[in-house]
Structure 1
Amino acid sequence: MKLKFTALCLIAASTFTGLAHANPTDIAKANKCFSCHSLDKKIIGPSYQDIAQKYAGQAGADIKLADRMRKGAVGVWGSAPMPAYPDISDADLKTVVKWVLSQ
């Protein structure tokens, strides 16, 4: 009985852990990021490539971007406001920020 329970726990844990490693573009789409951003062209906000280029090599860039996504921002790239996304999970936020900075 203990073996079956342990096996079920391991299966459930591996399934749950897999959710935390979702595809960053799927996370961005689910949070409507592509409404204002694209990979290589400015829409309302800068392209992901422009963001990556601006912050390349800057210590703490990931923390800065995560904070702006979580709380929103205005004036960084012009007058268009970046809306806040307070409900995005920490894991999803980290995944998207890492992906944006890798462009």
Structure 2
Amino acid sequence: MKLKYLFFGVALGGLSSFSNYNSDIKYSNVTKKEAILYQISDGEKLIAKSDCIGCHKLDKKLIGPSYLDIAKKYALNDKNVAYLTSKIIKGGSGVWGTIPMSAHASLKKDDAKSMATYILSLKK
């Protein structure tokens, strides 16, 4: 009897290893075909795990500007990605108002660059 359960468990594990499931797919108001094509970027994942959501939202101003407003102001190019990467790490004030953005000195430069690239890629 135990042998049957062992065999069943091994067979189930083996079959599930052939699954196409991808946990990085973001579902919203898109078709299933579009959802399979859309993968969450590294920058979006890093933002979701960080404290950015305390001051920024995708489409609404909170304490700081929305990500869409930032994307509208800056074109996606190397110069602007480098500028925003620096702003994310060092913080700053005066560009979007008087409330300063806190520094994120412990953030790796590559991670901040991924975040900045993602934000600027939101421009439609």
The TM-score normalised by the length of structure 1 is 0.72
Count matched residues: 82
Greater length-normalized contact order (CA 8 Å, ≥ 6 residues apart): 1
Deviations 1:52-86 (A, max 9, x none): 10012666111110111111101110011100001
Q: What's the counterpart of residue 81 of structure 2? A: 62
* Equivalent pair of 2:56/2:65 in contact (CA under 8 Å): yes
- Structure 2 residue runs of 5 or longer lacking an equivalent are 1-40
Over the aligned positions, Cα root-mean-square deviation in angstroms equals 1.7
- Structure 1 residue runs of 5 or longer lacking an equivalent are 1-21
Return the match for 2:98 from 62, 79, 85.
79
Higher alpha-carbon Rg:
2
The structure 1 segments of at least 4 consecutive aligned residues displaced by more than 3 Å after TM superposition are none
The percentage of counterpart residues that share the same residue type is 39
The TM-score normalised by the length of structure 2 is 0.61
Q: What's the counterpart of residue 7 of structure 1? A: none
Task: Please identify which structure carries the higher helix content.
Answer: 1
Taking the aligned partners of 1:69 and 1:37, their CA distance within structure 2 comes to 12
